[in-house]
Structure 1
Amino acid sequence: MIVSGLGFFTDAYDLFVIGVVLLILSGSEPTSFHLTQSQMSAIGASSLFSAIAGQLIFGRIADIYGRKKIYGTELAILIIGAFFSSISWNFESLLFSRILLGVGIGGDYPVSATIMSEYSNAKDRGKLIGLVFSMQGFGAITAVMSAYALTSFLSPETSWRILLGIGALPPLFVVFFRRKIPETPRYSLLVAKKKDEALKATRTILGDEDGAEKKFSSLLHIEEKHMNFKDFLRKFWESLLITSLAWFLMDIAFYGTGIYSGFIVSSMIADTSLHARILSAGLPYFVGAFGYFIAAFTMDILGRKRIQIQGFIAMAAIYLVVSLSMVSQGGKVIGFTVPRELAFFLYSLSFFFINFGPNETTFVLPAELFPVKFRSTAHGIASAMGKLGAAVSTYLMPMALDTIGIKEVLIILAGISIAGAALSLKLKEPAGLSLEEISEEKILLKISN
């Protein structure tokens, strides 16, 4: 869990640090980069668009060749992308480095989620997968805290380069251990048909020879059932569509408000200096971090579906309330009908319900609802749809803030959140069931969870 979790810590750091870097490179600070609005949009969204490719490619490869064979490669790509981002010399080189970084980030999603799912038991599978994803919260907070500390002592030019370079450090400590993780017993037995390898992995996990033999004995009696991709889509198209669209809608709100948090909260605070904007942009992440862990520890009790629906509803309500409290003129916020501090608190609270809601559940559900042969592929498709929503939102957000203004943007996000809640009503609830029960794979002696 730690090996997978540190990967998501890094993923979140690298994705969200760019929002702080864009504050520095936006033209208000003395740097060698003078980005136009369209260039800022391209830099902000580039790694998200390329993450789509990483999710689709790594997700499919992990189902064809196994999770182990590819695990760790995504971090190597991420390290290279982060390093070259820090030494970029112009807009084009920074853009290319962020694209490369995104491929590595994208590859981490389906493989890590699938591995954690297949190593977990039915009783606390949601908690274990959720805790891996919860490391995102620490990654985002670290990005903001690092930015505040560095800009306090170093020049903006030096600060943004170090910030991007830091993203290469955590993966260096993780990539080796990822290469050492054994193939999941489920994949070894049900897909690769390697019983000895599955038994060996079970022994490694349990660290108990007798316990491994007993646990493994329930894996041996399996009825062969051929399923090609066409068969998979015929049976699971609805679950794949719902998980994909829900993730798409959630990421529109999450990344749009997340990466550009510093620009959004500037209308809610009196001090618009760089330090104040960095700190204010980070406060919603601190509030939101609690949501990650509450979701993880209640997911197997409340269920994924309930948490996802209530999160979407809370997001919609908060966006509407904050928007209605704004007084705008020509797309610019000129005041509030409530104290600014209250508006800022409510905006920060939306991050709590995003995380104690669809941000975590959309990651967990695709790792559970599909059969082992296509589990990583399906997670790659669903997460790619999420990143498509994130990329579109991140690319359009600067222009939307400049043209229609934050008040109208929040109303749009409220409508998107309501759509997400309505869509989630069709979800299947996997809590408490084994992966084989959820996907209805034909097993004569059910895997003992």
Structure 2
Amino acid sequence: MSINTLITTIRAQEILDSRGNPTLTVTIGLGGGIEASASVPSGASTGANEAVELRDGDPARYGGKGVLKAIKAVEGVIADAVRGLDALDQEGLDRRLIDLDGTPNKERLGGNAILGVSMAAARASALARDLPLHAAIGGQGATLLPMPCMNVLNGGKHADSGLDFQEFMIAPVGAPSFVEAMRYGAETYAALRTLLHRDGLSTAVGDEGGFAPALKSNEAACDYIVAAIEAAGYKPGRDIAIALDPAASSFGADGAYKLELGGAREIDRAGLLAIFGRWIDTYPIVSIEDGFAEDDWQGFIDQTAAQGDRIQIVGDDITVTNPIFIREAIDRKAMNAVLIKLNQIGTVTETVEAVNLCHQAGWNVMVSHRSGETVDSFIADFAVAIGAGQIKSGAPCRGERLAKYNRLMEIERALGDKALFANPFTKRAQSEALS
């Protein structure tokens, strides 16, 4: 007996994200009685070309951050346009939303409003077909679990630690499975807490669950991570590696970068590249994301040429999950991996297009949460669906971060012997996993 999969109802509600700021959840109902919901995250460190969030701008309510306008768009013009469409036709639905908005960055209806509808429709489609979300989006061959890159020390816009660089992550590259990777990470995180407490440093956490101690230098963050890896009984580089997200747009522009910690100083792109080179020589670093500002194409190009054969060079603010900028990055050889965030572009379909471009270029893909998150685990299934091979969802701490990691452990268990897990920072391992 077939289920009626035509969209009949759409409603939205204002909720709070992990920073206590408003966002929205969208619920779609189908003719057959199925309902599905999806919640939209929000970033603090954002690229200039991201899809625009529609906010109310009323200073008397949530400091202007309310999303009642986005809710009105969902329940009004969007609902009128998509009611009666088949939820099974994700691309058709998303194209209708894109055309309805009619702007390059979704500023009319709001990327947050549009994405909520797109994600809820994908989830409703999965329920209608009695499939897990990852199989509904990626097919039955979607069996690769992503390497978790866990943010254990926070800086930049995500904490008041004073660290110039935003994220210091650990990647359990030697783990044999996703569930074991989480154990490696959680044990190292616990060891890091112990070391910081021993030294009288704060173990309060930043937006993404990583610790936010006041350290004397940026390098000290890597020193503590290496010590924590060893204290947890693992070998740095072999079992657990380091991944960085400096989020350089927050401290640089026009090829100039200002570092504050350890004495204020301004350096050019060559100076910053030299710092990364020294760190790669000293620490078990396998990935650097946004090592240069979003307007510094030459910085990315130089880093890829100089260090791209040693580590993963990831674009985020510069590419914003947008096929236009990813194509440019491919043409200019500006990186060898791209960060993928659904709310940077605004629909499931466009996100899949961005991922496919990366795969065609032989580039790595890392699916990412946002600093302002919800307990929605959509990106966990999405990472498996697209064969990303990597995900970052913050520290092994805080419910909105763990929701994604715990969902991935569920998926691995459900897949059983079909589940694949590999170190994505070695091309051979990734090739074997995807073959």
The TM-score range, normalised by the shorter chain, is under 0.3
Larger Rg: 1
Higher percent of residues as helix: 1
> TM-score w.r.t. structure 1 length?
0.27
Bigger relative contact order, structure 1 or 2, given CA contacts below 8 A and separation 6+?
Answer: 1
Higher percent of residues as strand: 2
